[in-house]
Amino acid sequence: MSDGTSWVGATAKQISRAVRRGDVSATQVIADTIEQIAVSDPSLDAFRVVRAGEALSEAEKVDDQEDLANLPLAGVPVAVKENTAVAGLPTWDGSAAARKPIAEQDHEVVRRLRGAGAIVVGVTRMPEMGLWGVTDDQEAATRNPWDRDRTPGGSSGGSAAAVAAGLVPIAQGNDGLGSIRIPAACCGLVGLKPGRGVIPAELGTNDWFGFAENGVLTTTVADAVLGFSVLAGRDPVKLVEPGKLRVGVSTRSPVVGVRLDDPNRGAVATVAKLLTQAGHDTVTAEPRYPTALGLRVLATWFAAAYRESQGLDISKLQPRTRQHIRLGKWTSRTGLVRQAHRDAWREKSIQFFADKNVDVLLTPALASAPPPAEQYSSGSWRHNMAVNMRYAPYAAPWNVAGLPAIVFPVGIRPDGLPLAVQIVGPPDSELLLLSIAGLLEVANPWQRHAFG
């Protein structure tokens, strides 16, 4: 709890435990949350819509249940990314022009959150069609709570801003080319992209050719474990400290010509040192990112936009999106977008761990500080591409491979923004990645919220 009376800033585990014990009602928790969103969100623009009345009504129903023992998220306020169906609301997908009709039923991950006792307080903003690592549209540019002149990243930028500001302890997001991990890094959060097939991943009509995965953003590893377990349909587990690991360390950028700045390089070195002090081995292990991989990632990124645009009035979309769609129409007709290519990179990525004899791979999360918060939606496609590729090149290869990857905070940059690293693992290593993050959380505690 942030001030001893309000539940704003409390963790999901703290809230659910208190609600189950009867120490606080779900209705009171949600009332505190709605009040704080009304105060804080006008300067952040994290939310597209706040479900104030509906959320309070749903909290009352949780309070009326006789047995709360089996609700791991009892009374916990959560936010849902606006490209994920919430019954009774349109699915905006980042702009009014891309908006889908009112959803008749919840997406499966929303259904699982509600089934665990969580209360959806609103849906959060994202860039149009989830295409960008910055979050804005013609109405607003979403702001980073650590520095409102900076972006919270994208495409799950609204979700990250809401959690970093303490408005909700857990927010759902999805990650097609880094869209959970990039905002987590920008906002000092824990963000896990699960491996392929672990959590239901369908996003309306567009699955991003198998790149996209659903997950959560949180301020603690314990909440990340709780959210992951609920979305994966598993019983919550208690993490155990990992046995001795051999950790590969890489700072090579997947994008040629991108410079890694000193704070992010230092974050990798800090984590490598902490792991060594904890008894694990660290070795240099640089993946080889083929030039063809980059071209195929770009081609598939474009093609995903083209696929998602079917049925929309393209003339009403943003300039950057229209150019993506034009390129996607072309790449869809070439041989660059093929499942065989994606399968080959997945096999090569899995083999990397065996060839280098490493259990996991440690990399930077970002190459530089989050870009300024601007109306990128009205800018040129070329400018948007340059901004995105320069600051966040490290996430996308692992979407293509379908491997789990986690981002978590390490410290603070000299400019006051959070620092983070990424750890990638082989298939089915989600709990191992979470346990490593938990080890680092104890060894190197981070500031949970932007407000201290």
Going by their DSSP bridges, the two strands 170-175 and 90-91 should be labelled as: unpaired
Cα–Cα distance measured from residue 405 to residue 415, given in angstroms and rounded to the nearest whole number = 26
Angle between the 430-443 and 221-231 helix axes, to the nearest 10 degrees? 160
Cα–Cα distance measured from residue 300 to residue 399, given in angstroms and rounded to the nearest whole number = 11
**DSSP state letter for 191:** E
Task: Find how far residue 43's CA is from the centre of its chain.
Answer: 21
Catalytic residues, which ones?
81, 155, 179
Dihedrals phi, psi of 330, to nearest 5 degrees: -75, -50
Cα–Cα distance measured from residue 18 to residue 27, given in angstroms and rounded to the nearest whole number = 12
* Tokens at 304, concatenated: 């995903």
**DSSP state letter for 150:** B
- Coil, helix or strand at residue 71: coil
- Coil, helix or strand at residue 245: coil
CB atoms < 10 A from the CB of 50, how many? 19
- Judge if the upstream peptide bond of residue 159 is cis by omega within 30 degrees of 0: no
CB atoms < 10 A from the CB of 289, how many? 19
Residues contacting residue 97 through CB under 8 Å, at least 6 positions apart: 128, 312, 313, 316, 317, 318
CB 177, CB 301: distance < 8 Å = yes
**In degrees to the nearest 10, what's the CA dihedral of 307, 308, 314, 316?**
-170
Cα–Cα distance measured from residue 409 to residue 239, given in angstroms and rounded to the nearest whole number = 19
